[in-house]
Amino acid sequence: MPMAKKKQSRSITYKQAGVDIDAGEEMVRQIGPMVKRTYTPRVLDELGGFAGLFSLDFREKLLKRNYKDPVLVACTDGVGTKLKIAIDSDRLDSVGIDLVAMSVNDLICVGAEPLFFLDYLAVGKLAPERMLQIVKGVSEGCLESNCALLGGETAEMPDFYKPRDFDMAGFAVGVVERDRIINGKKTEVGDVAIAIASDGLHSNGYGLARRVLLDRARYKFTSKPPLLGGAMVGEEMLKPTKIYVNAVMNVLKKYRVKHVVKAMAHITGGGLPGNLPRVLPDGLTIRVKRSSWETPDIFKLIAAKGPVDSIEMMRVFNMGVGFVMVVAPAFVKSVMAELTKASQKCWVLGKVKKGGPEIQWA
């Protein structure tokens, strides 16, 4: 009796397993112009290499930048569950700006100039047209913060993420002269805290914001609650994080010799109570005048619809204060004039007092 022929198995491809190499190559081709427009004269490599090359110093006469005692500064962050809002509303063009902002705004708190940025995207299915929107936002954020988008990585992980889901992380590197590092140690009683306005939620507190606005209040992205003055809930929730790099760098460049700025804080998760104490020496606090600014409508809506009490709101959200600079009292007016010139709304938030570690409220 003749033996039955063994059935030959069909060959399987990486694409059939869920990873599309061709789509990845097409994405790299399409994002090329967006990446290259962020290049500064110090970028040495070409797009597509294994690593990005960046010269700390360069010799061009008009752009000469040589450091005496440079210290490299690095930050990393993500966008958190704000991504879910972007995915559900199919608006991916602004979260890339958020990604850059969250790192470069931290970077400048020590007085560092952002040099370059790298991103990491993990996706369920690599759709070049969707990834293009994300990278466009990253590119915009890099241009706004004067840093080069030096490289990145996109990982297609179909067994880990749903087809439309993705996560992202960003990495920024900057430089500061050792004697110009701002670490809060020179802060004194009588120094003044200047607040710079946020543009809304930025990229923190979205777990609570989503629970209140979308689950409890049952708003749609297109809903226009009266308290928002005609704005849609989705628009407010997707406003990109403001980038403070140029405004802050302009102030620091104006005072190259005098140490006018004593401390700086990016107001992210934890709000004012969680972030201001981080930049102050032991034994000092800031007496914050709560009546010095008007809370933006989006926070009023969350507090009302939760309801969420005022203490919790202050612990979770920036409440309208995106960045704080602590400066010597004699320079308050000139620093605020410089910030205003850079189109930043600012005001005196409070003064440095003895106490701590918690901030005081007036």
Coil vs helix vs strand at 4: coil
User: Any idea which fold 21-44+69-180 has?
Assistant: 60s Ribosomal Protein L30; Chain: A; (3.30.1330)
pLDDT for 6 beyond 70: no
3-state secondary structure 176-234: EEHHHCCCCCCCCCCCEEEEEECCCCCCCCHHHHHHHHHHHCCCCCCCCCHHHCCCCHH
Q: Which of 268, 198, 206 is nearest to 237 (CA)?
A: 206
| 193-222 per-position pLDDT tens digit | 999 999 999 999 999 999 999 999 999 999
Strand partners of residue 266: 323
- Do 233 and 219 contact (CB within 8 A), yes or no? yes
Q: What is the pLDDT of residue 2?
A: 55
CATH class of segment(s) 192-361? alpha beta
Q: Which amino acid is at 30?
A: Q
Which ranges in the chain are annotated with CATH 3.30.1330.10?
A: 21-44+69-180
Entry pTM: 0.92
Q: What is the pLDDT of residue 195?
A: 98
Which ranges in the chain are annotated with CATH 3.90.650.10?
A: 192-361
Instruction: Measure Cα distances from 72 to 51, 172, 271 in Å.
Output: 18, 10, 27
Query: For residues 87-108, b (16+ Cβ closer than 10 Å) or e, as one string?
Result: bebebbbbbbbbbbbbbbbbbb
DSSP 17-29: TT--HHHHHHHHH
